Structure 1
Amino acid sequence: MRSFSRGEESLGAIDNIYRHQITLASHIHFTSSELYCKRVIELIGSSQGVYNVGSIALDKINKSSLISENDFRTKYNIPEKEFILITIHPETKNIDSNEVFAEEIYKAAFELIKGFHLVITMPNSDTKGSIFRNMWKKLKSEFPTDVSLIENFGSENYYAAMQYAKLLLGNSSSGIIEAATFNKYVVNIGDRQKGRARSLNTIDVDFDYKDILFKVKEIIPKGEFKGNNEYFQENSIQKVINIIKDYDGF
């Protein structure tokens, strides 16, 4: 059995226990950063079959061509105004606090609308996701021309959204893993992604609307992020193929 993205942690979600169980059951482990490589080695007690190859998602992005900004905006009816891309999922280990978290996000979004269009991807089906879904619908009803609610971009169009956004805001793994490849800063909120390796484009804040607004205002003058992506390696997919072809540990 082969496992990808091993050694990762997301302490605000319940994924960890399943992720580690898969790691323990696998023979080959592909990790997306040096930090995760060390975690897998510690977890299984051996370096045999553990390979740090970088993120295969980034390899795919590197080989993709995105639609133009004009076509993207036309497709999703996004006006010619700088926009912030927002992706918020519920925290599944601290579920009782999600209503409070939603209130803080709403207050922050209410203020951000004064300077930006908001492109918001709707939350997943995790427990309490409906709290955030209903909150975004309320915001849209109050500011119909300033908010775009997107049920599902699909990967290619989501990458385009990251490319053309001013910055990313939320608690999605896409902010942690992919955003640096698009030279974007990320305001990462809460604990959902706690434990993951960070590139220097990631700024962590609590679910506090004043802190969120402060960090956004701090980031805006920086423009594009010019640093490296912690998760990127050249030709990750080909590395995986070569390792599997040559592996003799079964």
Structure 2
Amino acid sequence: MASKVCVFTGSRSDFDRLYWICLEIQKTEGLELQLIAGNMHLSPEYGLTINAIRETGLHVDAEVDMLVSSATSVGTAKTVGLGTLSLAETFNRLQPDIILVLGDRFELLSVASACTCMTIPMAHIGGGQTTEGAMDEQIRHMVTKASHLHFVANEMFGQRLKNMGEEVWRVFITGSPSIDSLMRTPKITTEDLSKELGLDLARPTALVAYHPATLDPLNLEAHTNQFIEALSQFEGQLVLTYPNGDPGSEYIIKSFQKLDAAHGDRSVLIPTLGITRFVSALLHVDFMIGNSSSALIEAPTFNLPAVNVGDRQKGRLASSNVISCAQDSASILRAMQEAMALGKSPCGKPYGDGKASPSIVSALKSTLEKRTRQQLLTKKFSIPGEDK
């Protein structure tokens, strides 16, 4: 009987990375794919991206409407609670053998809570990283301790998980599926992307991805204002994308809307680019700016300069394409000028070579064949060097 691998996706960004893994599961003998879509996928405000999943041809086994649309810390906590309730019912219906999740977003707390209470093994992609300026930091490590298998981008991240007490046999160095997505996604030409965006990408252009720094909510408005001021003074074009659904996102969206209204001849504001336009933008724009993990994980694949603003990504492994700066407008402007001068210079690729998806599915299949459910669920706290 095939093992049922249930993949949970809560946003367009994680689905783009999970898509190729889903295809690998589908074609692997002995595995059966189940797919759950929830959280931002079902929100019209964030582009109703459940439709994009359907367009891929993948069957969605369950849609979990869990997002409390308030963009506040209370709303986030309520979303986690509502998600736990809904996912418990969904897991009970689907009876998966293992749940597969990616990243460090707050909706994963719902998955982890339901799995823990229902004794369902969980596999996690993306552990061992650090982002000191966001609550994602705590969420990532909480999900690590709730998970039973780990697929990480490099040896450094794997060692961190072992230092957290995870047994060696549970940790696999696979690379990041983010790079798979970049390498496999069809690209569109500069001319076609220019037409779709309504901009001339032959001119200097920045891709903007900016999210709330959730551990510093009191300064969100002031920091956003400084960021907007710097973007206003940039003489090139701006491709503005919506932030995630964290508390404070509504203020950023309104600020972007005002910026776009004031500079509409050289800017475009889009709720979600979608994977094809996003990857093509990384290939064709001059630099990326904001505080998104994409600047550190995906941008190096195309040697794209990236301005990392503030502390949201502090501590995350970065290549030489990344220029970090303080949150004031003068520092941001200097960093933008540095990025334009740097150009697309060769840089390191610390997050893998684009072959993570088959590695993850292969390790998942072999472990499910070798280990019983009870062995998966029974975790030992194992520190390297300690007496067994």
Flag whether TM exceeds 0.5 (same fold). Answer: yes
2:179–2:354: 8 Å Cα contact kept in structure 1? no
Are positions 1:111 and 2:226 aligned together?
Answer: no
What's the CA shift for 1:70?
1.1
Letter in 2 for 1:123: P
Q: Does 1:216 align with 2:362?
A: no
Query: How far apart, in 2, do the equivalents of 1:37 and 1:241 lie?
Result: 17
Corresponding residue for residue 164 of structure 1: 284
Of 177-186 and 134-143, the range deviating more from structure 2: 134-143
Structure 1 segments (4+ residues) deviating >3 Å = none
Q: State how many pairs are aligned.
A: 248
1:234, distance to aligned residue in structure 2 (A): 4.8
User: In percent, how many aligned pairs have the same letter?
Assistant: 28
Does residue 32 (structure 1) correspond to residue 153 (structure 2)? The answer is yes
Q: Separation in 1 of the partners of 2:165 and 2:297?
A: 24
| Letter of the 2:361 counterpart | I
Find the residue that maps to 2:359 and give its secondary structure. Answer: helix
Correspondent of 1:203 among 290, 299, 323 = 323
Secondary structure of residue in 1 paired with 2:318: coil
**Matched residue, 1:50:** 171
Instruction: Report if aligned partners of 1:183, 1:226 keep a CA contact under 8 Å in 2.
Output: yes
Task: Output aligned runs, 1:102-181, within 5 Å.
Answer: 102-112=224-234, 114=235, 116-181=236-301
TM-fit CA distance, 1:57:
1.6
Shift, 1:164, TM fit:
0.9
Deviates more, 1:165-174 or 1:21-30: 21-30
Q: Please, which of 64, 72, 88 is the counterpart of residue 193 of structure 2? A: 72
The one-letter amino acid paired with 2:194 is R
Q: In the alignment, residue 187 of structure 2 is paired with which amino acid? A: L
**TM-superposed deviation, 1:45:** 4.6
User: For 2:355 and 2:262, how far apart are their aligned partners in 1?
Assistant: 46
Match of 1:185 in 2: 305
Secondary structure of the residue that 2:264 maps to in structure 1? coil
**CA contact under 8 A between 1:99 and 1:131: conserved in structure 2?**
yes
- The residue that corresponds to 1:98 in the other structure is 220
Gaps of 5+ in 1: none
Tell me, what secondary structure is at the counterpart of 1:48? helix
CA distance in 1, matches of 2:349, 2:227: 27
Q: CA deviation at 1:25?
A: 2.1
TM-score, scaled to structure 2? 0.61
8 Å contact from structure 2 (residues 185, 279) kept in 1: no
Between the aligned partners of 2:301 and 2:167, the Cα distance in structure 1 is 31
Instruction: Report what 1:19 is aligned to.
Output: 140
Aligned-partner residue type, residue 230 of structure 2: A
Mapped partners of 1:212, 1:245: distance in 2 = 46
The Cα RMSD (Å) is: 1.5
**1:84 correspondence with 2:206:** yes
Contact 1:180/1:225, CA 8 A, preserved across alignment: no
Distance 1:230 1:9 in 2: 14
Which of 348, 358, 363 pairs up with 1:228? 348
Do the aligned partners of 2:319 and 2:348 also contact (CA within 8 Å) in 1? yes
Instruction: State the distance in 1 between where 2:225 and 2:156 align.
Output: 34
| Aligned counterparts of 1:217 and 1:234: Cα–Cα separation in 2 | 31
Q: CA deviation at 1:141?
A: 1.8
Displacement of 1:48 after TM fit?
A: 2.4
Q: Which moved more, 1:90-99 or 1:216-225?
A: 216-225
Structure scoring higher RCO (CA < 8 A, sep ≥ 6) equals 1
Aligned counterparts of 1:234 and 1:98: Cα–Cα separation in 2: 35
Q: 1:213 to 1:14 in 2, by over 3 A?
A: same
Corresponding residue of 2:75: none
Q: Distance in 1 between matches of 2:181 and 2:174?
A: 13
Query: In structure 1, how many angstroms separate the alpha carbons of the residues matched to 2:285 and 2:152?
Result: 28
Q: Which amino acid aligns with 2:146?
A: A
> SS of the residue aligned with 1:54?
coil
Over residues 95-149 of structure 1, what are the superposed CA-to-partner deviations in whole Å (9 max), with x where a residue is unaligned?
010111011111111110x2x1111112222111122111111112211211111
Match of 1:240 among 360, 363, 371: 360
| Structure 1 CA distance for aligned equivalents of residues 365 and 299 of structure 2 | 31
